[in-house]
A and B are shown apart, each in its own frame.
Chain A
């Protein structure tokens, strides 16, 4: 069984500041992928960033980067220079064994002007 835990139901950040969203996971698979998805208030979920477990280098996408700690089974998302458009629900997800994707319960991010 695979599990994903997001322990921060809500977070807030000042515009232009940096915020880190936490995610821990568990899986028995040796080969797996981790994702962060964003769901703005309009509901359409979009991919923010993706990390392959066999890659040691942390993935980055513009202002978004991850801190992937494989031994600790931790996969946090850092958002730099936060913008109002970053306000959304953020879901951490895990796909292992090529059979199933497990999502966390989400973290609601508020960006304060």
Chain B
């Protein structure tokens, strides 16, 4: 069974540009989570989607947004990029039956570098 996939692996942008990151969950999973992993800060919760709806978001500005498609894949958009947005962005998926208490399965991440 295929795991969580993310694309692209690496993304280099300049300040002010927009970045789009993509995630495909494990087949059958309806929940998708996005995290930002910056050096020394652990994982910071960004967004949670389930059944196409945004269920919760972390303490990030509105320029971080996303959506979940009918096939449960998801996209994270970061507008007006700032240097501090440089980080590894991890996507995770779960069955969605018990909210965020479900075990999450992580993808390999997208490394975003903002110059």
Contact = CB atoms under 8 A, between A and B. Distances in A.
Q: Do A and B come from one complex?
A: yes
Given A95-B101, A98-B98, A100-B58, A43 B43 contact: no
Interface stretch (B11-19, B22-30, B72-80, B103-111): B103-111
Interface residues of B, number: 27
B56 A105 contact: no
B71 interface: no
B62 interface: no
Contact of B109 (A43, A50, A91, A99): A43
Contacts of A104: 42
Interface of B: 3, 33, 35, 40-45, 48, 55-56, 58, 88, 90, 92, 98-101, 103-109
27 contacts: A37-B106, A42-B108, A43-B108, A44-B3, A44-B108, A45-B90, A46-B105, A46-B106, A47-B103, A98-B98, A98-B101, A99-B48, A99-B55, A99-B56, A99-B99, A100-B45, A100-B58, A101-B45, A101-B100, A101-B104, A102-B45, A103-B35, A103-B42, A103-B43, A105-B40, A105-B41, A105-B42
